[in-house]
């Protein structure tokens, strides 16, 4: 089975966020594999171990994403591809990323493509379905279970808490939801092996793409932090008085009840 994983290097949103020069300050931030993409890497490895084949992890980004790709290799992926857009794409959007990925994937004869259902930084969740559409293959988003039997695929999908059991066939693109699996930590031998695994670096030129082919269709004009919330009112006194006061405040001051 020929398996591709779409991986994004993301800002660890557990970090404190500051803004400088109209952008999120990334200077001292921790970067990680987008947590939903970790589920995707794990699932790809499990599918390969059951059905045979090869797992290739691909990322669109800058040279810095090499670290996250090496981590995926250390987890057990076989190959990695970095599509380095540092010099070519400034302020790309989901259209740009999906176009690049689709262009890369179009002649790869992938049986299965797995991504995260959303990246925790940008939070749009568009890239997976956009790539599937450009490759003209079916997709299922936010999956919590994947079973493959010959060419037949059964997927369980999380739909706002309900579960749908969906039948489809290969080739297919799926996006991972929490609950799909427990991603493994890279082992020490895994980390050693990863250093020798192939990591190919491509640029737009290699995909026969021009900058204008992938020019964003949206533009961010401002980034800002939410206004600091004023310290809330912690009530005091007798508990029953506190409860009465709270109901009164919600009714008359906050006016939400």
**Is the Cβ–Cβ distance between 96 and 73 less than 8 Å?**
no
Decide: is 152 part of the binding site for other proteins (CB under 8 A).
no
The nearer residue to other proteins, 82 or 93, going by C-beta atoms, is 93
**Cβ closest to other proteins, residue 53 vs residue 125:** 125
Which residues in 45-74 contact other proteins (CB under 8 A)?
A: none
Residue 137 token pair? 């293959």
Beta strands in 97-193 (DSSP E): 112-116, 139-149, 152-159, 162-169, 172-176
159 touching other proteins, by CB under 8 A: yes
The CB-of-233 to other proteins minimum distance in angstroms stands at 5
Find the binding residues for other proteins in span 164-193 (CB under 8 A).
164-169, 177-179
Judged by CB under 8 A, which of 66, 133, 203, 211 binds other proteins? Answer: 133
For the record, the structure tokens of 194 come out as 């990863």
Spatial distance between the Cα atoms of 231 and 251, rounded to a whole number of angstroms: 20
Residue 165 has a CB neighbour count (10 Å cut-off) of 10
Q: Report the residue from 56, 59, 94, 181 that binds other proteins according to the rule CB under 8 A.
A: 94
Q: Which stretch binds other proteins (CB under 8 A): 55-63, 70-78, 187-195, 248-256?
A: 248-256
Query: Between residues 188 and 256, which has the closer beta carbon with respect to other proteins?
Result: 256
Question: What is the C-alpha to C-alpha distance for residues 133 and 90, in angstroms, rounded to an integer?
Answer: 24
CB nearer to other proteins: pick between 188 and 238: 238
Compute φ and ψ for 35, nearest 5 degrees. Answer: -55, -35
């Amino acid at each position: 089975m020929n398996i591709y994983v779409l991986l994004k290097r993301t800002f660890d949103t557990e970090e404190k966020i500051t803004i400088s020069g109209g952008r999120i300050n990334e200077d001292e931030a921790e970067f990680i594999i987008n947590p939903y993409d970790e589920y995707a890497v794990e699932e790809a490895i499990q599918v390969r171990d059951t059905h045979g084949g090869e797992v290739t992890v691909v990322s669109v980004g800058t040279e810095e994403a090499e670290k996250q790709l090496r981590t995926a290799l250390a987890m057990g992926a076989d190959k990695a591809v970095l599509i380095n857009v540092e010099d070519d794409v400034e302020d790309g959007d989901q259209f740009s990323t999906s176009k690049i990925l689709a262009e890369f994937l179009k002649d790869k004869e992938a049986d299965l493509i797995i991504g995260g259902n959303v990246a925790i930084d940008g939070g749009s969740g568009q890239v997976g379905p956009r790539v599937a559409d450009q490759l003209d293959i079916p997709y299922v988003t936010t999956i919590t279970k994947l079973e493959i039997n010959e060419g037949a695929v059964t997927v369980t999908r999380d739909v706002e808490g309900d579960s749908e059991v969906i039948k489809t066939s290969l080739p297919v693109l799926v996006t991972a939801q929490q609950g799909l699996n427990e991603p493994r930590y890279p082992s020490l031998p895994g980390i050693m092996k990863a250093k020798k695994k192939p990591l190919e670096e491509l640029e737009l030129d290699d995909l026969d793409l021009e900058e204008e082919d992938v020019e964003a269709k949206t533009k961010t004009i401002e980034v800002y932090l939410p206004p600091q919330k004023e310290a809330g009112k912690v009530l005091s006194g007798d508990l029953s008085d506190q409860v009465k006061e709270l109901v009164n405040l919600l009714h008359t001051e906050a006016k939400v009840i």
